[in-house]
Amino acid sequence: MIRNYIRIALRNLWKNKFMSVVNILGLSVGLSAALVIWMIVHYDLSFDTFHKDRDRMYRVVSKLDFNKMIIKTSGVPIPMLPELRANVPGVEKAALIYQYSPNVKIKEQKFGVQKRIAFAEPEYFSLIDYKWIYGSPAVLKNPLQTVLTEERAAQYFPGTALQDVIGREVTYDDSIRVAVSGIVQSLKGNTDFTFQEFVSMQTVLSDQGLKKMRGWDAWNNFNSGISMFVKLRPGVEKEKIEARIMGITKAHDDEDSKNQYTLQPLREIHFNSEIGAFDQRQANLPVLYKLGALVVFLLLLGCINFVNLQTAQAGERAKEIGIRKSLGSSKGRVILQFLGESFVLTAFAAALSVLMVPGILSAFNSFIPDGVTMAMFAEWQIFLFIPILVLLVGLMAGIYPSFVLARFQPVAVLKNQVHGIKGKARLRQVLTISQFSIALVLIMATVIVGEQTKYAYRKDLGFDKEARFFLKAPGSRATTEALKAKLDAFPEVEMLSYGYSAPLSLGTSSTTMSLGTGEMAEKAMVEAKYIDANYVPFYKIKLLAGRNILPSDTAREMLINESYARAAGFAKPEDAIGQLLSFNDKKKPVVGVVADFHTKGMQTEIMPLALTSDWLAKTSLHVSLHRDADVHRTMDKIKAAWNEVFPNDEFKATYVDDALEIFYQSEKRLNQLLSWATGVAIFISCLGLLGLAIYATRQRTKEIGIRKVLGASVGSIVMLFSKDVTKLICIAAFIATGIAWYAMDSWLQNFAYHINIPWWVFPLAAAAALLLGLVTVASQAFKAAMVNPVRSLKSE
């Protein structure tokens, strides 16, 4: 029986080739998107699933409460570790990892800053199981020992046999000389534990100077490079241990400390982006949710096409159903048969969608983790997902048409009383309206996101960002000054300035200050920028009142921005001049008020800000060139000067323009995603419309013939068919306008500075959709209207 159904299904697909193509294309887009999402989800879920007893393993994390600012971090005080081992009986094992990124040198060969290095103890290896090729965890009991993975060993000692690597010396930061005493294999499988090099913790612990300098003995060191792991004894509740940890830290934290310590299950590490996972890429849940919603929409569009076309051709299938019923087919069997057709069709679409996956992976590589590749199809979880998807989507698409078709009464069919299903025309209209609503919402959203992004890029930031770059100096103040002296001599250089960061930068320095009256009078968090006297003129920041700071290497005078002056209760900027601002327990005079400028992207409101001179400013040198300078040649000269001062460090100029980019990455991605989805949605909807138009003209061939015999022009017939689709798209435009307005208005609230939704977006999108819809339908109507009426009337 099933073979029989499949055979009929295939023959029907072949008979209605065009409709099959429409359906398969429409469904395959959604299916391929679903496949990719599943691959990402599966990839992310597969992280660190192989650790023994992982259900009992946790990472201790802190929630630090700095009055109005909460920071979650994996950093916990290192002295907690011995306490956990000695005084918490529920803890079976405890170990920590401290990430370390030193400059690495081997003999005279410099490897530069290396990542994926960590301080570790032997206990770490009893929690996370590594395969040891040489040595054993015990080697890390002693100071000045290091363990490499095979890959790291090959990187540091190329061409050397692994056993010969043992005993070789590696120098960190020019001062710590360690011996390689073990080689391990990297963990197999997807994992965030990708450390390549383990330095014995005793290296620091046994050296009182190092220990103190690195804060390893401090109860207030919450360095996010620290990750402390515990393995609980079987049956021990994590809440009990958390309470014990709170008890231990109470003795050492400040009295009014509101800091909290909790246990983060191992499986959550990959998913909690607030805390991070050893600086590795984590699962991006918001993006996954967004993509998931998109997949549902795309699948819905494809299914709507299927429902529309199946019910539209119901009249043609009715005869078969009537005969089958008179031969003894039950309703259930008819349903099964039509479901079979939708499954076969969906299976074709699924096959096609697999072919589309590589294209999607490369087009969206900014969303998709590198580990997600076509190779994943070899895994059964991915492979088996395809038939499950076919079953689900086939059911979703097929269930309604199957029930409608199965409801036909055989006698009505055999008496030729069925001419399509009249009542179902309304349903098709509703579905077409929904389809176009989705497409229209997407068009509108794309335009509005584009407009807002354009606005964000073009808005006056309050400072001049054009043709300015900065160099982050790695050395001491003296070397930075040496670099400045060299650049000062170049005629092409217009101006130079020291500044800890550009006016707009991702990082923020904040500190508590008090000034004026109101909420700012008490200690409040204020953003601080460390600059020199050139900074304000360099970036053409406007001075509203008072004067610029005088050259100095320490904080002697303060500039504040307008927002700070207002928040501190000064009605006019002038009123703030001469007031004392207390900061680091010292009082400094405010000498000037500058106009507000953006220190972050448009998402963030301009907050109170203070600028002051400080030696910290000398970590970056900001450079602007004369307009007529030959940029290429000048950059080469500057690079040469850099290499003289910093022979060991790579030259890197960061343009202030580019800093803006970082703030709008997610908007740009959203825009890319939306544009793609819009294109696909319009494509699927128009395909469906084309299918419906073909059926409509086929059904009304006779009517067209009669009208033409009666003297109708081709134009009037095309009009006749276009009227319906115009009505549908107009209704869709109204619905979409409402939805898009609401959705985009709430999206724009993410921005402290945003556009008003431009009204023209809505009629423009509607007009575009209408044009596409009309072209689709009118082309079919035109074809039908051009046929000689004698032929169309004969065909009856």
399-438: which residues touch another protein (CB under 8 A)?
A: 409-411, 414-415
Taking CB under 8 A as the rule, does residue 4 contact another protein? yes
Q: Residue 67 or residue 326: which is nearer to another protein going by CB?
A: 326
- Segment interacting with another protein (CB under 8 A) among 222-230, 237-245, 318-326, 391-399: 318-326
Using only the alpha carbons of the chain, give its radius of gyration: 35
- The four Cα atoms 601, 286, 765, 24 give a dihedral, to 10 degrees, of 150
Q: Residue 409 or residue 579: which is nearer to another protein going by CB?
A: 409
Query: Reduced to 3 states, what is the DSSP secondary structure of residue 581?
Result: strand
Taking CB under 8 A as the rule, does residue 17 contact another protein? no
Taking CB under 8 A as the rule, does residue 136 contact another protein? no
Taking CB under 8 A as the rule, does residue 330 contact another protein? yes
Q: Residue 415 or residue 547: which is nearer to another protein going by CB?
A: 415
- Segment interacting with another protein (CB under 8 A) among 315-323, 348-356, 541-549, 712-720: 315-323
> Among 138, 323, 430, 771, which residue interacts with another protein (rule: CB under 8 A)?
323
Q: Residue 407 or residue 523: which is nearer to another protein going by CB?
A: 407
- Six-digit token string for 737: 């306008």
Q: Residue 56 or residue 324: which is nearer to another protein going by CB?
A: 324
Q: What angle do CA 76, 78, 83 make, to 5 degrees?
A: 100
Q: Tokens 């080739």 identify what position?
A: 17
497-556: which residues touch another protein (CB under 8 A)?
A: none
Q: Tokens 């909807």 identify what position?
A: 685
- Residue 498 bridge partners (DSSP): 621
Smallest separation, CB 404 to another protein (Å): 18
In Å, what is the CA distance from 410 to each residue of 318, 337, 374, 761?
Answer: 8, 16, 49, 51
Q: Residue 322 or residue 773: which is nearer to another protein going by CB?
A: 322
Smallest separation, CB 270 to another protein (Å): 52
Q: Residue 115 or residue 319: which is nearer to another protein going by CB?
A: 319
> Among 186, 329, 510, 671, which residue interacts with another protein (rule: CB under 8 A)?
329
> Among 326, 509, 713, 750, which residue interacts with another protein (rule: CB under 8 A)?
326
**Of 674, 605, 657, whose CA–CA distance to 457 is shortest?**
657
Q: Residue 322 or residue 705: which is nearer to another protein going by CB?
A: 322
> Identity (one letter) of the amino acid at 738?
G
- What is d(CA 121, CA 686) in angstroms, rounded to the nearest whole number? 63
Q: Which residues lie closer than 8 Å to 11 by C-beta, 6 or more apart?
A: none
Q: Residue 4 or residue 509: which is nearer to another protein going by CB?
A: 4
Smallest separation, CB 410 to another protein (Å): 5
CB 413 within 8 A of CB 321: yes
Q: Which residues lie closer than 8 Å to 211 by C-beta, 6 or more apart?
A: 204, 205, 217
Smallest separation, CB 416 to another protein (Å): 8
**Of 118, 95, 136, 96, whose CA–CA distance to 196 is shortest?**
118
Q: Residue 286 or residue 328: which is nearer to another protein going by CB?
A: 328
Taking CB under 8 A as the rule, does residue 698 contact another protein? no
**Of 20, 51, 200, whose CA–CA distance to 121 is shortest?**
200
> Among 12, 62, 191, 497, which residue interacts with another protein (rule: CB under 8 A)?
12
> Among 26, 315, 322, 394, which residue interacts with another protein (rule: CB under 8 A)?
322
> Among 168, 324, 465, 468, which residue interacts with another protein (rule: CB under 8 A)?
324
Smallest separation, CB 234 to another protein (Å): 55
**Of 76, 94, 97, 98, whose CA–CA distance to 86 is shortest?**
94
- Six-digit token string for 480: 């930075």
Smallest separation, CB 193 to another protein (Å): 58
Phi, psi of 274 (to 5 degrees): -65, -35
Q: Residue 59 or residue 317: which is nearer to another protein going by CB?
A: 317
- Six-digit token string for 422: 């009249």
Taking CB under 8 A as the rule, does residue 63 contact another protein? no
Q: Residue 412 or residue 771: which is nearer to another protein going by CB?
A: 412
Smallest separation, CB 17 to another protein (Å): 14
Taking CB under 8 A as the rule, does residue 8 contact another protein? yes
669 exposed, middle or buried (CB, 10 Å; 0-12, 13-18, 19+)? middle
In Å, what is the CA distance from 579 to each residue of 120, 516, 565, 590, 592?
Answer: 51, 8, 10, 6, 10
Q: How many residues in the chain?
A: 796
- Segment interacting with another protein (CB under 8 A) among 40-48, 330-338, 370-378, 499-507: 330-338
- Residue 106 bridge partners (DSSP): 109
Smallest separation, CB 409 to another protein (Å): 8
> Among 116, 152, 214, 325, which residue interacts with another protein (rule: CB under 8 A)?
325
| C-beta neighbour count of 648 within 10 angstroms | 10
Q: Tokens 């009856």 identify what position?
A: 796
Smallest separation, CB 698 to another protein (Å): 17
CB 498 within 8 A of CB 620: yes
Q: Tell me, letter by letter, the H, E, C secondary structure of 514-568.
A: ECCCHHHCCCEEEEEEEECCCHHHHCCCCEEEECCCCCCCCCCCEEEEHHHHHHC
| C-beta neighbour count of 321 within 10 angstroms | 23
- What is d(CA 280, CA 785) in angstroms, rounded to the nearest whole number? 63
Taking CB under 8 A as the rule, does residue 15 contact another protein? yes
What is the torsional sign of CA 124, 125, 127, 130?
positive
Q: Residue 3 or residue 68: which is nearer to another protein going by CB?
A: 3
Smallest separation, CB 1 to another protein (Å): 5
Smallest separation, CB 325 to another protein (Å): 7
Smallest separation, CB 319 to another protein (Å): 7
CB 168 within 8 A of CB 88: no
Applying CB under 8 A, the site for another protein has a residue count of 25
> Among 115, 319, 540, 669, which residue interacts with another protein (rule: CB under 8 A)?
319
> Among 1, 378, 478, 710, which residue interacts with another protein (rule: CB under 8 A)?
1
Q: Residue 422 or residue 627: which is nearer to another protein going by CB?
A: 422
Smallest separation, CB 764 to another protein (Å): 46
Smallest separation, CB 355 to another protein (Å): 28
- Six-digit token string for 141: 């009991």
- Segment interacting with another protein (CB under 8 A) among 11-19, 114-122, 170-178, 606-614: 11-19
- What is d(CA 301, CA 27) in angstroms, rounded to the nearest whole number? 8
In Å, what is the CA distance from 20 to each residue of 29, 352, 406, 684?
Answer: 14, 13, 21, 13
Say how far residue 489 (Cα) sits from the centre of its chain.
45
Q: Residue 406 or residue 541: which is nearer to another protein going by CB?
A: 406
Smallest separation, CB 18 to another protein (Å): 17
- Residue 223 bridge partners (DSSP): none
Q: Residue 56 or residue 325: which is nearer to another protein going by CB?
A: 325
In Å, what is the CA distance from 674 to each residue of 283, 323, 438, 469, 757?
Answer: 21, 48, 12, 33, 17
> Among 207, 253, 268, 320, which residue interacts with another protein (rule: CB under 8 A)?
320
Q: Residue 374 or residue 411: which is nearer to another protein going by CB?
A: 411
> Among 328, 423, 491, 711, which residue interacts with another protein (rule: CB under 8 A)?
328
Taking CB under 8 A as the rule, does residue 331 contact another protein? yes
- What is d(CA 461, CA 456) in angstroms, rounded to the nearest whole number? 9
- Segment interacting with another protein (CB under 8 A) among 1-9, 249-257, 382-390, 423-431: 1-9
164-183: which residues touch another protein (CB under 8 A)?
A: none
Binding site for another protein (CB under 8 A): 1, 4, 7-8, 11-12, 15, 319-320, 322-331, 333, 409-411, 414-415
